[in-house]
Structure formats: structure tokens, C-alpha cells
Amino acid sequence: MNPISHRAMRAWVGLGPRFLPFADAASAEVPLSRLLRLSLVHVSVGMSLVLMVGTLNRVMIVELGISAALVSTMIALPVLFAPLRAYIGQSSDTHVSVLGWKRVPFLFNGSMVQFGGLSIMPFALLVLSGGGASHAYPHWVGQAAAALSFLLVGAGIHITQTVGLALATDLTSDDRRPKVVGLMYVSLLAGSIASALVFGHLLEDFTPGRLIQVIQGTAVLTLVLNGIALWKQEGLKRMTPAELDAPRPRFGDSITLYMQDGAALRRLVAVGLGTMAFGMQDVLLEPYGGEILGLAVADTTKLTAALAAGGLIGFGTASHLLSRGADAYVMAGRGALVGSLGLALVIAASPVGSTTLFAMGVILVGLGGGLFGHGTLTAAMNGAPEGQVGLALGAWGATQATAAGIGIALGGVMRDLAVTAGAAEQFGPAFGYMTVYITEIILLLATFAVMSSLLRPKGAQGMAG
């Protein structure tokens, strides 16, 4: 070790314990302030998601003149990393460190990766647009840099979110988890809404300089928020030499062990089917309202708000009921049913021509999505086997994020296929949308069936009633 490192290392041991990033004790009772700090990880995830999917989506196409196909490819790139969540979770479960840390190193590295992606993103986008002197360089330079920045931010989000949820599960007991899940979801939504408003305001008068300030400001804020979030969350748990030298379980073995419980696979299937169904209508509700029901742009934008409001009511209701002992599977199953009822109303709105019916349907879809999301995450946390919490949460996240991505893509493709096949001329313009909505209802009913099979006999009666 070089002399500077040696001196720095000596400084660590000379510091007071107050200044070290370990929790004083891994106590059973975790105060709310600590959970609130941990939820900051989800605030920064919400911030990055809004930036990539919302704000930059528009900026790249309108202000920077980048082709829409290239933009959607960039935005879709992080979804490719989603299946790796299971691996990230397993790695954190089996991480070996003299300090006994399992989650904090991943949170730190994930934050650095997310920060890195955001730091290079504005320059990458400016080079991609061919602005300034960058047109002298080949196109692939900008494309590769932009792809790298999106991949890094995506990977950072996957790592911090997976490990953040695993840490939340480690810290809380079964009965408090529903409230924790609610807190994490609300933080994500709050982070998304607040940053969408701030980004919109800051980028009103667009200049390349402002773009750099906004994205790099987000990068710094990500590091600050995640730093506050991970501070003193994990206690110092010294490992014995035998524990340090013990071989780490391989990923394949861990997966096999996890899947031995038949319920694990069925749980993931239900999560995948349900999330895909809820994701399919995401990009179609607004065009459906405009094209089929003739709503104005301002009205269709309110739809997104109605969907989010329904989601929040769903999370709130699920938090309240689950913390009073309701079954998480029943909650998720009911979410699927409420969602399919909402979609039925959305379908019915077209022949009747009723916007009220449509609005009610949208709120119900949001509500169902909220109940389903909360129920499945709580079930994943509570069903995580000892020592495999990260893997269980990673598998949940991998399935959820991949299914949402596939759902959104599939929704658009199915509608377009129905239109290009000429069916729209034969059956009316609503045909493409109806095809998607009916497929969603079928998927949600299948989700309900799989969820029902996971219930304990007592719960089954509750669900049937």
C-alpha cells in the first residue's frame, strides 16, 4: 500500500464512530427517520426515470432533432438490463466483506454508476445531435456514448432499487412491510412528479448549456440523496475467517434452491402476466381518448393524472389493509379484478360514447394497478426465504421491469398491427384498441387465476367472498 493510502486508512480508524457509515446497532426496531432516508433511493430512481422517459424523450426529438426511432431505442436500452436484477440481488445476498456489509457496497456502486451515466449524458446527447463541432466525428461516436450513458443510468437504477428494497426487507419485520412498500412507492411517485415539474420549468428556455446544468445537477443530486439514504443503514457485522473463506453459492444453485418452493415460480408468473397487462394500456389511453372519444389534448393529459390518482388510492388502500393483516395475494388478485373491470368500462365507453364511463374506467385501472403492485411486492418481501432476500426481490424486479417493457411495446405493436391489417376499416377505428384491451382483460383474469392458486385455504374463502 502506498504511503498516502496508508495515511488515509489510518485516518479512518482514528475517526469517531459518529463519522463512520455504519449503523450503531442492527436493532430490531428501525425508526421512521431511517426508513424515510432509505426511501430517498427511490426518489432518485423516480428522478432518473422521468428524465429519461419523459423530459429527454421530448428534448431529444424536438430540441435536438434526433430521430424518434433512435430515441425510443435509447430509452428502451435499460430494459435489457432488467433480468440482471436477480443476479444483482443474489450477489448482494452472498457478498463477502470483512465489515459484514451486504447491501451498502452495492448501493454505493449502483449510485456511482447512475451518477456516471447522468454525468456523461448531456455531452453524449449533444454529440449525438451533431451540434457544435461534433459533426466532424463519425455518427457512431455519439450513438455509442449516448447508448452507454442510458445503459449506465439504467444499470444504476436496477442496482440501487433492487438492493434498496432488499435492505428495506432486512430492516423491517413482516407486519411493518406493507407500510414500507407504500412508503417506497410514494417516494418514487413523489420523486417523479416533483422532478417532472422542475425539469419542465428549467428547460422552458432550452439551451445546450441549460441541458448540461439540468442533467448534471440531477447527477449530483442522485449522489447526495443516495449518500444520505445509505448512511448508517447496515451495522458492522464481523465475519469469522471461516465465513470469509467459505465458497460463495453459485447463481444457478441459488436460483434452483429458490425455485424449489413451487410458489416462487407461480408468484413470478402472476407478477409477469399482471404487470404486462397493466403496462399494455400505458401508451394507448391518451390516443384512445383523443382518437375514439374525441377528447382535447388538455383532457387526455388529465387522464394520466387520473390514472396516477387511482394508483395512489390503490397504494394507500393496500398499505392500510395489508398492515391490518390482509393477505397480500388476495390484495394482488383483487387488483387484477378491479383492473379488468376498469378495462371493461374503458371498452364500453366507445360504443356508448361516454367520457364519464371512460374516466371511471381509467381511475379503476389505476386503482387496480396500485393494489396489484403493492400486493405483489409485499408478497415478494414476505415470501423471501432467509438468506435469499436479495434474490427474491431481484427476481420480482426483473420480472416486473421486463414485463412492463414488453407490455408497453406489445400494446403499441398490437394496435398498429390491427390498423395496418385493414381491420380498422372493416370494424371501425376502435378495433385496434379493443384488441389490446380485451387481451389485457384475459391476461388479468389469468393473473387472478394464478394468484388464487397461491392462496392458503383460509385466504381462498376470503377471495371468493
Binding site for other proteins (CB under 8 A): 1, 5, 8-10, 12-17, 20, 97-99, 105, 108-109, 112-113, 115-116, 119-120, 123-124, 126-127, 131-134, 137, 141, 145, 208, 236-238
Give the Cα separation of 171 and 235 in Å (integer). Answer: 11
291, 293, 296, 299: CA torsion to nearest 10: -120
Compute the least distance from the CB of residue 451 to other proteins, in Å. Answer: 41
C-alpha 136/C-alpha 146 separation (Å) is: 17
* Distance, CA of 160 to CA of 177 (rounded, Å): 19
Tell me how far, at minimum, the Cβ of 228 lies from other proteins, in Å: 16
Q: Exposed (0-12), middle (13-18) or buried (19+): which is 207, by Cβ within 10 Å?
A: exposed
Closer residue to other proteins, CB minimum distance, 14 or 325: 14
- Of 112 and 189, which has the nearer Cβ to other proteins? 112
Closest to other proteins by CB, 24 vs 253, is: 24
Smallest distance from the beta carbon of 281 to other proteins, in angstroms?
38
> Of 123 and 396, which CB lies nearer to other proteins in the complex structure?
123
Q: Of 190 and 239, which CB lies nearer to other proteins in the complex structure?
A: 239
Virtual torsion, Cα 38, 55, 154, 137, nearest 10 deg: -140
Query: To 10 degrees, what angle do helices 355-382 and 262-280 make?
Result: 160
Shortest distance, CB of residue 221 to other proteins, whole angstroms?
16
User: Which among 324, 329, 318, 319 is positioned nearest to 462, based on CA atoms?
Assistant: 329
- Note whether 94 and 254 are within 8 A (CB): yes
Least gap, CB of 170 to other proteins (angstroms): 18
In angstroms, what is the minimal distance from the CB of 113 to other proteins? Answer: 8
Record the cell numbers describing residue 158, joined without a space: 436496477
The residue (of 9 and 352) whose beta carbon lies closer to other proteins is 9
Nearer to other proteins, 105 or 287 (CB): 105
Nearest distance, CB of residue 118 and other proteins, angstroms: 10
The CA distance from 4 to 24, in Å, is: 29
27 contact partners, CB below 8 Å, separation of at least 6: none
